[in-house]
Chain A
């Protein structure tokens, strides 16, 4: 996923994946350190929690300057493979965050 305008231009790639069956983790790779600094400021944890429909106090955030990565982790609201699960590997949650960044 690559962006080309506005805040989406700050992002090189976004990936989401299970961290075991009970957690989801989303890595936002910024294009460089300056983009990382801008996005850290613009992207609130509350907005990410809202997009994932998870309580903000369950969302963990890591701003990793050395990698220009913002990482979010949260317990899955639906456990991997449970009857209501639609995304076995958690691959699509990152799309929500990309669209959130696009709209900033």
Chain B
């Protein structure tokens, strides 16, 4: 039997100290936590940076390092620093060094690097070992070499290789959310279907319970299945909350693809345990695949953006907002087009009308004010900012008709132009075939602390 404590859904979003403490009292064999995903968009992978503040990551990592020292069990994180690039593995290793020194801890730390050279991935593409997944857009060699960062998602095999180093702390780059939880149970002979299924249920911490905000959860794995134990005060897992979690962020509610195979939970059964807060799950099936593949994620720079926001409160202009925007755009392009070098994008999103859904919006409810969010995309930041400055007088004073007093609209900020920096976009939705699981990954062990 293996007990895995998951202190929260991701490092940096908060750890509930009480729920953590109750989890520690259950004597877990490992503390495992996720450090990120693609959920927050392509910026983080594109730039190799973390969504969460260094201060909050360090604060929570310290709590977990203290907990690890108290129990003497491994502490494992996957997808370090939101995107799991090598730069973020080193970033978290630096934080670990700082904490170890401050806490007087002496540690062996294993790092698992998952970044891929775009040139190497392009070679694999040429060799035919890159395969698109369902829903993938077509890519060519240039799309791949144009990526600023590409990562391969580590599975249980790579995580286990890190665990087998005997390190007290394992900092893994991009990993599947489930692999960091399933790895040890799989290595210790627990039921494979149960290991992957339990890992999926635990990957977001307490999200599979009636009180997701409490964060922590403990999964107990064995040779037949797994049992879910929330650790927050008064928190309950029910057959419904647990089984429903297979739906979450999963296109197929019964199938989960992982490196080396897929999980099928069609025949799984969920039973409330006597304490009425835990759930027992059996019947999940793991199907090994013939080829060993790892998923790739890549992001590239797609331009630079500047945004402006102007607020329209005049009833006449609100009622004619589409006409006003159309005329304003036409006038701007006609009068200023020759002053702008290079391609650019100019988009108006009408907050209060259709800013959220765009062309999918079906309602045209009368609004009393409209926020006009202007998004300018150009080849570099200066160009985007210059275009926004050219546009500003139009947003400030453009009149709906030729023979009316010059109107003025509301700007909430000075300067009105806000540079957003680089726009990154996801490129790859593919898997790469490997001869051996460690072929695309690098494992290192270092000593840190006093």
The chain A residues found within 8 Å of chain B, CB to CB, are 17-23, 25, 27, 29, 51-53, 60, 62, 64, 66-67, 69, 71, 73, 75-76, 79-84, 86-89, 92-93, 95-96, 99
Contacts and interface: CB of A to CB of B under 8 A. Distances in A.
Contacts of B429: 20-22
A67 B136 contact: no
B425 A25 contact: no
B346 to A, nearest CB: 11
Interface string B244-255: 100111111110
24 contacts: A17-B248, A20-B38, A20-B429, A22-B135, A22-B429, A25-B249, A25-B250, A25-B251, A52-B360, A62-B253, A62-B254, A69-B247, A71-B253, A80-B426, A81-B42, A82-B302, A82-B426, A83-B303, A83-B423, A83-B425, A84-B358, A86-B349, A87-B357, A88-B40
Question: For the complex, would chain B's binding face be called helix, strand, loop or mixed by DSSP majority?
Answer: loop
- Judged by DSSP, the binding face of A is mixed
B244 A81 contact: no
Interface residues of B, number: 41
Interface in B5-31: none
For B134, B254, B349, B424, the residue with the greatest tally of chain A CB atoms inside 10 Å of its CB is B134
A83 B359 contact: no
B302 A67 contact: no
B274 interface: no
Contacts of A53: 359-360
Contact of A51 (B240, B302, B360, B426): B360
A99 B349 CA distance: 22
A83 B302 contact: yes
B273 interface: no
A88 B426 CA distance: 12
B425 A81 contact: yes
Contacts of A69: 244, 247, 253
Interface string B37-77: 01111110000000000000000000000000000000000
Interface in B338-359: 345, 347, 349, 355-359
A22 B247 contact: no
Nearest to A85: B41
Nearest to A69: B247
B303 A86 contact: no
Contacts of B251: 19-20, 23, 25, 60, 73
Contacts of A82: 302, 425-426
A96 B357 contact: yes
Contact of B356 (A21, A52, A62, A92): A92
